[in-house]
Structure 1
Amino acid sequence: MMMQEIAEFQSQYCSNLDIKRICSFDYELIDEKTHALYHQSPRFLYVRKGKAKFMVDTELYEVGKNCLLSILPWDCTEVIEVEEPLQYEIIKYNYEVVANMLHSIVVENTGEMPILKKLEVTPVITLNDHARNEIEIIFSKIKEEVGIESVMEKMEHESYHEILVCTLVAQIITIFCRETDANRMVPKVLAEPGDPRALILRYIYMHLSDKMTLDKLSKQFYMSKSSISKYILEKTGLSFNELLNEMRVTKTINYLLYTDFTLEELASIVGYVDAAHISKVFSARMDDKIGNYRKTYGKVLHVGKIRETKQDYKIVEYILRNFSEDLTAHSVADTFNISLIELNKALLLQVEKNFYDFLNLTRINKACEFLIETDMEITDIAIGVGYNTVKTFRRNFVQLRHMTPSEFRNNVSMQD
């Protein structure tokens, strides 16, 4: 395997100067093509000058002046060709903190795509004049508040600094989503049409609490375990387990900095076996005991009374364990003694779906396993995953898989 095939990993911190920061600002220039890069922290790029072909996961975009790019955790980017040197402003931010804040104040309409999901589906837009003026003002305010990262000057922040930068990033996300709704920039080229492999790493990161395994990935992407392992090794230079530990440590650091979760609670959230497991992996990766790290950096931030989310994980776990039962939003809300609004907020925060969308996805995913791995009758599968009628099962299956259960069984097989 040639080294140039391995993608680089960008730092998990928003700032190399101060790891406690939740946002940073800088200028960057790209004047030649780059190697693939996986981003552990999200960022917005606002292009001031230049023209280049910019790959985000599987889609290739032609980006230029007035383009705004949204790159999420474990997105893979690569500049394929530079026609004119690309000059842009870059804002990095802490995904967990900003996502938590957004979900604590926003209730999505049923059937509408969650806000943060829109950043994933459409990562590049071209700003109109009005949106461009708004973005330039917000980027300028963030620069004034956090300073310029490359200047390496430590800023003294005024009170409520964290609240201000979080709300400014939220404004960028709002403008981005509004422009996305009206102005989708269609990719010029698909790198590998229909090939889902570039999405594997982000999927792993977003589902760490599910105790991710190669078996689960194989069923999700309909690929053999060996082909997934080979792809991960070729792209990252890491084995599947090494990559898992890299992602888990990244997410653990966020929770150590911004919550007071116990190690046992963190183990469940991030996909470790127990507190001893999380301590061992963290110490090996960071050359420091987890307790020492928390004493040094822990609990540095309480942004606008962002609520702790221990119960949220219990709700997700409850649905995953009981999806085959006669669950309703009311019954789950009653089980946890919360309102329907609080239930949907919790699920939007953790899985970016409301109750019914998440329940249906869980049931259909399990049904896909049965269809591939067993000879069970479709009626039995429908009842086994929690649907009262085959008609309801079939309707939900078609909505999510764009084919009937029978077509899925006949046409879908594991890729080698």
Structure 2
Amino acid sequence: MKEAIKSKSICGRPVHSFFSGRDKYLRLQKHCISDITPPISENESIFVFVTGGSGAITINGVSFPLKRGSFIWLQSYHTFTIRAGSVQPLLMSVCVYDYPLSSFLTFHEPEPGTVDAIIDAPPVISLDGARLDKIEALFHEFEEEDSCFDPGSALIKVAVLGQFANFFIHHSIKQHRPETNCERPLGWKAVLYISAHFAEDLTSQSVAAHFGSAAAVLNRELRLISGYSFSQFLNRVRVNIASVALLYDGMSLSYVAAHSGFTSEVAFYRIFKKYMGTTPIEYRNQLLNDGSGVYRGMIMSTTLMEVLNHTYSSFSEPVDIKEASKRLYISESVIRDLVYETFRSHYKDLAVLTRIRHAEALLLTTDLPIVDIAVNVGFNCSRSFTRTFKKIYEMAPSEYREAHRGGKK
């Protein structure tokens, strides 16, 4: 019988904002780890890509080896340390995955089964071959846009982050086997359970009983791997959920509190300020009005979401605001104003950019001829496609493919 994996203890209370922070949204970070990081528990989700060296990452008490090509998706419920090997330091590229903005611009919410797959799947993937080439190309593309903070560049970088997320989601779904009981320590399983059921009336006794354990054992295990007791960990999960929900347009504070699992607005305010150092309203205002470099206002207007979803799902059809208005039962003037206020762009330009983003993905990941790609994404002819592509990227599609795929045809 295989022996159960034991949790590895962290040393001290975890730090926050090591890789994340308001000044790091949509920016590429490069880090060199030559020893070991302190325990880290971010308030954001981050992607980490190992570009050199070797070592290990311990996540929620479980260790995973790292080498060039390791790709990691860390969530706010992960407490982790990264250790370099003895021979050479770990070189890493890091991006913060801004959930509110990304879900706003990728136009859909994941299915419940997808969420289960992401939660259950290991957060570390080892890449090689074509998969490694693909992720390296995407990080390179992100870096190329990193010096710009205009809405167009932000949209491109969000699209790259969306591709990172989709890559992990597809991998997780492939690996997800609900009937397979992968043996993990109690702390690992409890953290995932709490993170998935945060809105329910959870107690340490009920969660411990779910895993056939005692509340005292569960508390000890959680402190061992995260530095938090059960109630502290649950509150932190709820605060992180609330901090995301606060940025969605049309959500009242009472709804945010209830959605995040708090029993009252008073408890929500008190606990939020304890963990975030500011009230919910102050937190929202800081993110929306932090001076230069801020790329977003309140997000997720339901009407705008419908417009974007229509644009995304029908990108290969003729661009026609009248048809969009007819299908969505939204006046043309409302569509026009919403798109311009949010993106400083016209509806037609947004639809064309959506086509070009799809074309770019096909150029980088397939060997389809240019004419087939043009038709695939909704252009009448390759000449029109090439002209539009060149206007945005200042090079022809064939030149773009050659430059970003190392001459591969």
So what's the TM-score if we normalise by structure 2?
A: 0.58
Match of 1:50 in 2: 53
Write the distance in 2 (CA, Å) between the matches of 1:275 and 1:283: 12
Q: Match for 2:56: what amino acid?
A: K
Match of 2:220 in 1: 230
Write the distance in 2 (CA, Å) between the matches of 1:104 and 1:180: 18
Match of 2:157 in 1: 165
Pairwise mapping of residues 287-302 of structure 1 onto structure 2 (< 5 A)? Answer: 287-297=277-287, 300-302=297-299
CA RMSD of aligned residues (A): 3.6
Write the distance in 2 (CA, Å) between the matches of 1:91 and 1:61: 20
Given the superposition, is the C-alpha separation of residues 158 and 252 from structure 1 closer, same or farther in structure 2, using an over 3 Å criterion? same
Given the superposition, is the C-alpha separation of residues 72 and 120 from structure 1 closer, same or farther in structure 2, using an over 3 Å criterion? farther
What whole-Å deviation, never above 9, does each CA across 1:116-157 have from its counterpart, x for those lacking one?
72475132223233222221221122223344xxxxxxx6x2
What whole-Å deviation, never above 9, does each CA across 1:62-90 have from its counterpart, x for those lacking one?
22112222222312333456143111111
**1:72 and 1:120 in contact (8 A); partners too:** no
Matched, 1:62 2:65: yes
Pairwise mapping of residues 17-416 of structure 1 onto structure 2 (< 5 A)? Answer: 17=23, 21=25, 23-57=26-60, 59-79=62-82, 82-83=85-86, 84-98=88-102, 104=108, 114=114, 117-118=117-118, 120-147=120-147, 157-177=149-169, 194-297=184-287, 300-302=297-299, 305-306=304-305
Given the superposition, is the C-alpha separation of residues 287 and 269 from structure 1 closer, same or farther in structure 2, using an over 3 Å criterion? same
Given the superposition, is the C-alpha separation of residues 287 and 196 from structure 1 closer, same or farther in structure 2, using an over 3 Å criterion? closer
CA-CA distance at 1:256 after TM superposition = 1.7
CA-CA distance at 1:25 after TM superposition = 1.5
Write the distance in 2 (CA, Å) between the matches of 1:4 and 1:115: 27
SS of the residue 1:164 aligns to: helix
Write the distance in 1 (CA, Å) between the matches of 2:136 and 2:273: 42
Write the distance in 1 (CA, Å) between the matches of 2:237 and 2:297: 22
Q: Match for 2:265: what amino acid?
A: A
Q: Matched residue pairs, number? A: 283
Write the distance in 1 (CA, Å) between the matches of 2:56 and 2:146: 30
**2:273 and 2:279 in contact (8 A); partners too:** yes
Write the distance in 2 (CA, Å) between the matches of 1:16 and 1:47: 23
Given the superposition, is the C-alpha separation of residues 273 and 34 from structure 1 closer, same or farther in structure 2, using an over 3 Å criterion? same
SS of the residue 1:5 aligns to: coil
Write the distance in 2 (CA, Å) between the matches of 1:96 and 1:223: 36
Q: Match for 1:168: what amino acid?
A: V
SS of the residue 2:81 aligns to: strand
Write the distance in 2 (CA, Å) between the matches of 1:138 and 1:69: 15
Higher deviation after alignment, 219-228 or 295-304? 295-304
Given the superposition, is the C-alpha separation of residues 223 and 86 from structure 1 closer, same or farther in structure 2, using an over 3 Å criterion? same
